[in-house]
Amino acid sequence: MKSLIALLKKYRIAILIVGLLTLSLSQQKFVMPIIYDIIKSDLFLVDSKDKGSDLPVSTPLSNIAFMHCNNYIKSKAEPDTSISFSEKPLKAWDIGNYQYVINAEMNITNNSGTSTKKYVCRITYNKGDNEEDALNIENWSIIGVSDS
């Protein structure tokens, strides 16, 4: 047992290099091909009529998303704070699968005065192609709101 420990101590750098090479080769030959096959499959495919866009949009659903984000922010405000919003968002993006990112400004009035802040809201319409009840907040999910 002592001779084995002495042998391991003597060749520890070589053992480390062989271990790293073995790990690297096994990842290249076994793990990554499996990952590539999973990526090529339809496992993560979301089949939706709403494909999204890289460019800002102004659609009826994006406008409703803007309204719901504003209402959500108002509901989270302090009781002594007054918040007003512009008529339109600065920009709104349809990122696909009925998910929207809204960038807008709000005016906040409280005891310390009035200030203007920008916010970003990510929201999802849960009913997909059925836009009949889009005004109902129960059909939407607020994913997150951040302000700057």
Which pLDDT tens digit goes with each residue over 114-135? 999 999 999 999 988 788 888 9
Check residues 42 and 109 and name the one with the higher pLDDT: 109
Separation CA 93–CA 55 (nearest Å): 7
Asked if 116 and 105 touch (Cβ cutoff 8 Å), the reply is: yes
Does domain 60-147 fall into CATH 1.10.3470? Answer: no
Tens digits of per-residue pLDDT, 73-94?
A: 999 988 889 999 999 999 999 9
Please list, in sequence order, all residues whose beta carbon lies within 8 angstroms of the beta carbon of residue 78, skipping any fewer than 6 positions away. Answer: 110
pTM, two decimals, is 0.69
**pLDDT higher than threshold 60 for residue 11:** yes
